A and B are shown apart, each in its own frame.
Chain A
Amino acid sequence: MLWVSFALPLPAYAQKDSIALEPVIVKGFVPQKFMSGLKIQRIDSASLAQVRFQNISDVLSAYTPIAFKNYGPGQLSTASFRGTSANHTAVLWNGLNINAPTLGQTDFSTIPVAGFDQLSVQYGSAASIVGSDAVGGSVLLSSQASGKPFHVSVGRQQDSFNNPQTQTDLRYAFPLNSQWAFSGKTALYDGRMNNDYPKPTRNTYALLPTETFQKGIVQDLFLRSQNDREISAHIWLTDNKLTLTPEDVQGREMTRTTAYRTMVRYQVRTLALRTAWVRDIIDYAKGDLSHPDHSVTDKFASRLEKDFSINIAGDLNPVLIKVGGEWTHFRSRVPGYAYSPVSENRTDIFLLMRWQPTARITTSINLRQGLVTGFNPPFTPSVGLEYGLIQKAHYNLTLKGSYGRSYRVPTLNERYWKDLGNPDVRPETGWNKELGLEQTFKASSGSTLRTSATLYHNRVKDWTYWNPSKSYRVENLQQVLARGIELQLNYQRQTGSWRTGLDAGYAFNKSSQEKAYDNYSQDIVGKQLVFVPAHSANANAFVQFKSTKLTGQFQAVGKRYITFDNSQFLDGYGLANLLAETTFVFDKFKLVLQGQVRNVTDAFYLNVRNNAMPGRSFALSLTFSYDSQ
């Protein structure tokens, strides 16, 4: 079986230049250049480093309006991005969708920050570029080649409730010969959430006894040549074992999620090839944990792409074009399926175009067609435009707009689950429109202020639904409209040894079912979808003096309905965290000491199981590192 693949080179042009430049090869996993008109938020490395012992959901809830449906600390945590369901956020690791093919979603509690180097969040549908699942948005994780000849760090965090986390990180780089250079990273992480709460309840609600053990290894290898050739290999093995009521030998429930993710990329100038193999294993057992239900899904995915540029008029910039294809084979053995193994092939072909005719205008037109065993998803076009309304040295105002089609291929569970699955279920399809304004002030004093406002309107048809009024059979039942507004603000200031910053956001989202299907759906139509807060806000502020930094984080989540008719809800809540960090430097050695107070106000809030979330807690970490430079 041929499943060799390619990387995604970016023929990059200086972002605001109006003059055509010679194409320069830029390494990147996701062709963000073609996402003009869409909103992309990059979480900076300093913010990530601050929460290196935590899970990605902690970062995303602190910096983005993504709402999490969380079953408890260390337990299942799924995302609702812009009012969509857990199946509507694509999670990409080095450009590869790593949503579990069986469930079509990612349990964010199984993704530690230690597993990746860079994190970006792309808002809204980007199906023409990302493919299936990118309906509400995409979470982009990627590896980054290290430039450090030798760097090692070892860290440990001790949290309240007997929850220790340990990490080791090794980075290395050296030239092989006059042509080739080698670099790499090896990282190990191990987390043990024992959740030994001092009291079994809060306000009469149980703090459920659970334990979560997480461990993993990340290996990245890069070989780069002078003549724009690159070969890289990426491995991420991760294992997450959750046990509910571990002391109750009869009633305990164990869910173990293991993923083997491997990838090889090869790039020679404008041609890129990528091939990947991912194995997702889920083991579930109740009571006797020795013979769990064991489900295994393999995914073989390859991608080939080529960049071109076409001059359409002598004095205008050329049009950048990327054409490519992706081929994916799934093979799944799941005890609950009607038959086993099931296999499925998916092919995608795409054509992405970006054109910057003048300094003010950037436009992209992207086309994609997916082909799936048994049925074909719709043709998926998108068009994006960015227009610089004001472009001054100290002030920029940009108008952004995008209109595109999205789709979601049904998950393997939705198609093949015994009795309940529906092999003929149709892919979901939607149209996403959005319009945004972004402005940047740059003061000569060294401070920068960026604000943005984005309006979106995303209608999804044939929304797949495990219909509770039909014994949970899978049906294309709903039509959902999600619309809302997002406001974001970022402020940075540097004066002498002092740095200050603020990241704040507010989001309003109205996401509701539009059509009625039976007598009782009149109670549901027009109502907010479950676990989608209408209002959410977050703020992160820091003050840094030399190498000592104090950070305050605040997030507010509005009322979340738990029933489709909005008859029941979980109350809104506000959470505040404080982080203090200082770095001691001794020549090439560094010691980072960090203290955290989580849920400073001891706020009371509930999770999906109607169990209490923990109150105020503390964490202390020490990270020791050595850098040869």
Chain B
Amino acid sequence: MKMKKQLASSLAIAFLTLAVWSCNQSDPAPKGDYVSGVFVMNEGNFTNNNGGISYFARENNTATADIFAAANGTVLKGGVQDYTASEQQGIILVDNSTAGQDKVQFVERYTFKDEGTIGAPDIENPREVIIVGRKAYVSCWGTNSDLKYTTGYIAVIDLTTKKVTKKINVADGPENLAYANGKLYVGTTLWGAGNKLAIININSDEATSPITTSGAANPVGIDANGKLWVNVGDKMLRINTETNVTEATLAIATEGTKTPGNFTFSNDLKSIFFVLSWYDSAGKEHGGTYKFSITDTQIAMVTPLIPRPFYGLAVDPTQGLLYAGVSPSYTQAGYAVRYRADGSLVDSVKVGIAPSGFFFQ
């Protein structure tokens, strides 16, 4: 009996392998206008609901400002909060200024053709998305009508049926997500009163004991050594994902007035880039972009890597270039500025309004 089952399993695996192999053999290269390049998430200007996703091939320095509009003849009708993709499917988080109009927009990954949406009440004020297997996890603030960021949830989407199968409550305005080893780490927005990092077991889709923090937690990701990095206020925490114990705490010299943000890993997962910015009394933003190694015992803040702040920051896994979003204002197009890892400037590409994130494929 046992043997038989094992044999069946082996056979199944063999067939599966064969199937995957033959799939690989027969699968032609993906077709579409947006196969290999950089996708830029543009938030747009809030009440104009004019965000979009810009795209350019890496070798180019001009972008198509709104590829969803180019592919479908209609715009997204909101600001873009996040974008990611599974095998064939892209997922865009669209935030509209009016309640009940937010949505998750599905697109064909390489052509950007509309493949349906999920709207309210399943999705309200979506913030960030992560795909694990055939499930997408979307952090949502909920209606947040009192603007106090006390509630929120993670919407679990079955990518096959394109339906929200579960809402997992996470208080205080869930925001940034990080995933490792079956666990989804959920941070909360700086605007709320959050003081813990929620952890969701993605096998059961249940919240487990959170990690208490001294303020709103902002998970950055898992480093080369499998450690989770979390920003809390003016500190960077290195957390052991097995024990949930904080192994190291690095201070960011904020002088009490500066705000760190836009954390992103280098390609080798051994360094973290971030922006430290502040506003002067005239409301003008100042700041710089810094880099530290995961083995540093303190974060060197004397000289920034790049002496200016950015609206978004990401590293292209293919070339290792640092992509920085520049938003002169919410009423004109922004730029994606490319830098080498040493902070030297490559070029810049005009994109959509308020570029806050990048997706590379």
Seen from chain A, the residues whose Cβ lies within 8 Å of a Cβ on chain B are 71, 203-206, 208, 244-245, 248, 250-253, 286-288, 419-420, 467-473, 518-521, 523-524, 530, 562-565, 567-568, 608-611
Whether B77 contacts A206 by the Cβ 8 Å rule is: yes
In the complex, what residue of chain B is closest to A71 when comparing beta carbons? B47
Known: A206-B77, A470-B284, A523-B333. A250 touches B145 (CB 8 A): yes
> How far is it, in angstroms, between the C-alpha of A288 and the C-alpha of B285 when the chains are bound?
35
> How far is it, in angstroms, between the C-alpha of A291 and the C-alpha of B45 when the chains are bound?
28
CB < 8 Å: which of B45, B282, B332 contacts A523?
Answer: B332
29 of the cross-chain contacts (CB-CB < 8 Å) are A205-B77, A208-B98, A245-B100, A248-B99, A248-B120, A250-B143, A251-B99, A251-B100, A251-B124, A251-B143, A468-B45, A470-B282, A470-B283, A470-B284, A518-B328, A520-B329, A520-B332, A523-B333, A562-B50, A565-B331, A565-B332, A565-B333, A567-B65, A567-B352, A608-B47, A608-B48, A609-B47, A610-B50, A610-B77
> How far is it, in angstroms, between the C-alpha of A203 and the C-alpha of B146 when the chains are bound?
32
Known: A252-B99, A473-B283, A563-B45. A204 touches B74 (CB 8 A): yes
**Residues of chain A with a CB closer than 8 A to B101's CB:** 206, 208
Seen from chain B, the residues whose Cβ lies within 8 Å of a Cβ on chain A are 45, 47-50, 65, 74-75, 77, 97-101, 120, 124, 143, 145-147, 279, 282-285, 326, 328-333, 352-353
> How far is it, in angstroms, between the C-alpha of A520 and the C-alpha of B101 when the chains are bound?
32
- New A-B pairs, 17, CB < 8 Å, besides A248-B143, A472-B283, A565-B331: A208-B101, A251-B98, A252-B99, A287-B145, A471-B283, A518-B328, A519-B328, A521-B328, A523-B328, A563-B332, A564-B329, A564-B332, A567-B332, A567-B333, A567-B353, A608-B48, A610-B48
Whether B99 contacts A244 by the Cβ 8 Å rule is: yes
In the complex, what residue of chain A is closest to B143 when comparing beta carbons? A250
> How far is it, in angstroms, between the C-alpha of A611 and the C-alpha of B50 when the chains are bound?
11
> How far is it, in angstroms, between the C-alpha of A470 and the C-alpha of B146 when the chains are bound?
26
Whether B333 contacts A244 by the Cβ 8 Å rule is: no
**Closest 4 CB pairs between A and B?**
A251-B99, A287-B145, A520-B328, A468-B329
Whether B98 contacts A562 by the Cβ 8 Å rule is: no
In the complex, what residue of chain A is closest to B114 when comparing beta carbons? A204
**Residues of chain A with a CB closer than 8 A to B143's CB:** 248, 250-251, 287
In the complex, what residue of chain A is closest to B330 when comparing beta carbons? A468
Whole-angstrom distance between the Cβ of A21 and the nearest chain B Cβ: 55
**Residues of chain A with a CB closer than 8 A to B328's CB:** 469, 518-521, 523
Known: A244-B99, A471-B283, A610-B49. A205 touches B74 (CB 8 A): yes
Whether A562 contacts B330 by the Cβ 8 Å rule is: no
**Residues of chain A with a CB closer than 8 A to B45's CB:** 468, 562-563
> How far is it, in angstroms, between the C-alpha of A229 and the C-alpha of B159 when the chains are bound?
80
> How far is it, in angstroms, between the C-alpha of A206 and the C-alpha of B45 when the chains are bound?
18
Which of B47, B50, B284, B331 has most chain A Cβ within 10 Å? B331
Whole-angstrom distance between the Cβ of B272 and the nearest chain A Cβ: 27
Whether B146 contacts A287 by the Cβ 8 Å rule is: yes
Whole-angstrom distance between the Cβ of B48 and the nearest chain A Cβ: 6
Whether A251 contacts B145 by the Cβ 8 Å rule is: yes
Whether B279 contacts A563 by the Cβ 8 Å rule is: no
Known: A287-B145, A563-B333. A248 touches B100 (CB 8 A): yes
**Residues of chain B with a CB closer than 8 A to A530's CB:** 331
Whether B98 contacts A609 by the Cβ 8 Å rule is: yes
> How far is it, in angstroms, between the C-alpha of A244 and the C-alpha of B352 when the chains are bound?
28
Which of A208, A253, A564, A609 has most chain B Cβ within 10 Å? A609
**Residues of chain B with a CB closer than 8 A to A471's CB:** 279, 283-285
**Residues of chain A with a CB closer than 8 A to B48's CB:** 562, 608-610
Whether B98 contacts A244 by the Cβ 8 Å rule is: yes
Whole-angstrom distance between the Cβ of A520 and the nearest chain B Cβ: 3
**Residues of chain A with a CB closer than 8 A to B326's CB:** 520
Whole-angstrom distance between the Cβ of A450 and the nearest chain B Cβ: 40
**Residues of chain A with a CB closer than 8 A to B279's CB:** 471
**Residues of chain A with a CB closer than 8 A to B99's CB:** 244-245, 248, 250-253, 286
Whether A563 contacts B331 by the Cβ 8 Å rule is: yes
> How far is it, in angstroms, between the C-alpha of A48 and the C-alpha of B30 when the chains are bound?
61
Whole-angstrom distance between the Cβ of A477 and the nearest chain B Cβ: 11
> How far is it, in angstroms, between the C-alpha of A524 and the C-alpha of B332 when the chains are bound?
8
In the complex, what residue of chain B is closest to A520 when comparing beta carbons? B328
> How far is it, in angstroms, between the C-alpha of A90 and the C-alpha of B329 when the chains are bound?
29
CB < 8 Å: which of A470, A473, A563 contacts B353?
Answer: A563
**Residues of chain A with a CB closer than 8 A to B284's CB:** 469-471
Which of B99, B279, B285 has most chain A Cβ within 10 Å? B99
Whole-angstrom distance between the Cβ of A286 and the nearest chain B Cβ: 5
**Residues of chain A with a CB closer than 8 A to B283's CB:** 419-420, 467, 470-473
> How far is it, in angstroms, between the C-alpha of A487 and the C-alpha of B297 when the chains are bound?
73
CB < 8 Å: which of B49, B65, B145, B282 contacts A609?
Answer: B49
**Residues of chain B with a CB closer than 8 A to A71's CB:** 47
> How far is it, in angstroms, between the C-alpha of A470 and the C-alpha of B353 when the chains are bound?
16
> How far is it, in angstroms, between the C-alpha of A420 and the C-alpha of B285 when the chains are bound?
14
> How far is it, in angstroms, between the C-alpha of A253 and the C-alpha of B282 when the chains are bound?
31
> How far is it, in angstroms, between the C-alpha of A252 and the C-alpha of B48 when the chains are bound?
18
**Residues of chain B with a CB closer than 8 A to A252's CB:** 99
Whole-angstrom distance between the Cβ of A609 and the nearest chain B Cβ: 6
**Residues of chain A with a CB closer than 8 A to B124's CB:** 251
In the complex, what residue of chain B is closest to A523 when comparing beta carbons? B332
In the complex, what residue of chain B is closest to A203 when comparing beta carbons? B74
Whole-angstrom distance between the Cβ of B62 and the nearest chain A Cβ: 13
Which of A251, A253, A470, A519 has most chain B Cβ within 10 Å? A251
CB < 8 Å: which of A206, A287, A468, A518 contacts B331?
Answer: A468
Whole-angstrom distance between the Cβ of A281 and the nearest chain B Cβ: 22
Whether B74 contacts A286 by the Cβ 8 Å rule is: no
**Residues of chain A with a CB closer than 8 A to B282's CB:** 470, 473
Whether A609 contacts B329 by the Cβ 8 Å rule is: no
**Residues of chain A with a CB closer than 8 A to B100's CB:** 245, 248, 251
> How far is it, in angstroms, between the C-alpha of A420 and the C-alpha of B279 when the chains are bound?
13
Whole-angstrom distance between the Cβ of A76 and the nearest chain B Cβ: 10
> How far is it, in angstroms, between the C-alpha of A286 and the C-alpha of B120 when the chains are bound?
17
> How far is it, in angstroms, between the C-alpha of A564 and the C-alpha of B48 when the chains are bound?
13
> How far is it, in angstroms, between the C-alpha of A562 and the C-alpha of B97 when the chains are bound?
16
**Residues of chain B with a CB closer than 8 A to A567's CB:** 65, 332-333, 352-353
> How far is it, in angstroms, between the C-alpha of A204 and the C-alpha of B76 when the chains are bound?
10
> How far is it, in angstroms, between the C-alpha of A562 and the C-alpha of B283 when the chains are bound?
24
> How far is it, in angstroms, between the C-alpha of A136 and the C-alpha of B100 when the chains are bound?
37
In the complex, what residue of chain A is closest to B75 when comparing beta carbons? A610
CB < 8 Å: which of A253, A419, A470, A563 contacts B98?
Answer: A253
> How far is it, in angstroms, between the C-alpha of A253 and the C-alpha of B45 when the chains are bound?
19
Whole-angstrom distance between the Cβ of A337 and the nearest chain B Cβ: 17
> How far is it, in angstroms, between the C-alpha of A203 and the C-alpha of B73 when the chains are bound?
10
**Residues of chain B with a CB closer than 8 A to A205's CB:** 74, 77
Which of A205, A469, A523 has most chain B Cβ within 10 Å? A469
> How far is it, in angstroms, between the C-alpha of A303 and the C-alpha of B69 when the chains are bound?
55
